[in-house]
Amino acid sequence: MWKDRVLSSEVLRSEEGRRVKLAGWVHSIRDLGKVVFIILRDRDGMVQLVFSLNTSGRELVEQAKRLGKEYVVMVEGFVKHTEKAPGGAEVHVDRLQVVNEAEVPPHLEPDQRAKVDLDVRLDDRMLDLRRPENYAIFRINHVVLSAARRYLESEGFMEVHTPKLIATATEGGAALFPVAYFDKEAFLAQSPQLYKEQLSAVFERVYEIGPLFRAEESHTNRHLSEYVGIDVEAAFADEEDVMRVLEGMVAFVIREVTERCRKELELLRRELKPLSTPFVRLTYDEAIERLREVGIMIEWGHDLTTEAERALGRMFDGPFFIVDWPTHLKPFYIMPREDDPSRSYSFDLMYGWLE
């Protein structure tokens, strides 16, 4: 049934007159009487279907008129190139099969532009995810993680998976989610740090991509209770070696997203600038001095405020590292400098005002 199916993007690249079979969801319908235009959506994009008396026949045109949004259909027909069609090509249909009907609340139809409250969207998340903008975000997320894996493996790193139910905290207990573990108390992992350190003592270079949990009571867009982290650990390496891996990975990921997600970026109205390495290195002391020059006073030994991070972000056109942080601001596993134990072999990567 699905053996010869092609995706919408392949239709747009096909030669005139090629016979194709497609399957997907009815995204939108335009009924002009003798001709019905349908936008079909699949996992690769959208393509226009044409039902006309000449090509499809009266019975098929009437069947097309009865379709509803989000109906699942399979069609066959011939490719025709025309500048009037989205993407420059369309399919003139001579066979239609309704795989499944659908009833969709009007405010959740994927082609609608009306803003809907988050609670409503989450109640019908499957429908909400069918909006092209949400699909684009998931597609970009996939490419980011795929590119990160490729880069890290090219650098000799091996992927590992560490426990997500832990007995003790890694970076302080205040941000832990407690869970019942049979007759004991356990916690959701906030970091794979201690596991990575043990694994790097065996495999030298390891990385993990997986969920992490932090019970930080905050409603800003900078704090998530659950997120996907990319963690690396390397033996026989210092902080400069790790920064080179990190900046190389970020630059590679940006390049891959730019090349592989052009239509998604256009849909989201986002433009990614190519990055050159190495990124700027700025010491903690230099950061404080630059902030003082613009009237933001940070006492030595204190963490940077959001206002300070925003100000620093405006000073640089791309990502930059802040290095040599005060030791007491960092977790216990960060190594103090031999020449000045009050400072540590540590760094934060900043991109604009985001850490």
The Cα-based distances of 347 to 261, 324, 334, 352 in angstroms read: 30, 7, 10, 16
Read off the pLDDT of each residue in 143-166 and give the average, rounded to a whole number: 97
Asked if pLDDT for residue 49 goes beyond 70, the answer is yes
Token output for 190: 């906030």
309 within 8 A of 352, measured Cβ to Cβ: no
Read off the pLDDT of each residue in 194-223 and give the average, rounded to a whole number: 88
Q: Is 176 helix (H, G, I), strand (E, B) or coil?
A: coil
What's domain 8-107's architecture? Answer: Beta Barrel (2.40)
pLDDT tens digits, one per residue of 25-42: 999 999 999 999 999 999
- The answer to whether domain 8-107 and domain 131-277 are alike in fold is no
The Cα-based distances of 115 to 111, 122, 344 in angstroms read: 12, 13, 47
Q: Pick the residue with more confidence: 168 or 149?
A: 149
Give the DSSP letter string of 300-320. TTSPPPHHHHHHHHHH-SS-E
pLDDT tens digits, one per residue of 4-18: 899 999 998 999 999
95 within 8 A of 75, measured Cβ to Cβ: yes
CA 187 to chain centre: 26
DSSP assignment, residue 227?
Answer: E
Distance in angstroms (rounded) separating the CA atoms of residues 325 and 305: 14
Find the angle CA(213)-CA(284)-CA(205) to the nearest 5 degrees. Answer: 50
Q: How confident is the model at residue 118 (pLDDT cuts 50, 70, 90)?
A: confident
List the domain boundaries for the chain: 8-107, 131-277, 279-355
Read off the pLDDT of each residue in 205-209 and give the average, rounded to a whole number: 98
pLDDT tens digits, one per residue of 120-140: 888 888 888 888 899 999 999
Asked if pLDDT for residue 173 goes beyond 60, the answer is no
CATH number assigned to the domain covering 131-277: 3.30.930.10
Q: What is the pLDDT of residue 305?
A: 92
Asked if pLDDT for residue 221 goes beyond 70, the answer is no
Q: What is the mean pLDDT of the chain?
A: 92
Name the percent of the chain lying above pLDDT 90.
76
Q: What is the pLDDT of residue 294?
A: 95
Q: Nearest CA to 278 among 255, 253, 310, 246?
A: 246
Q: What is the pLDDT of residue 171?
A: 65
Token output for 221: 């867009």
Distance in angstroms (rounded) separating the CA atoms of residues 333 and 331: 6
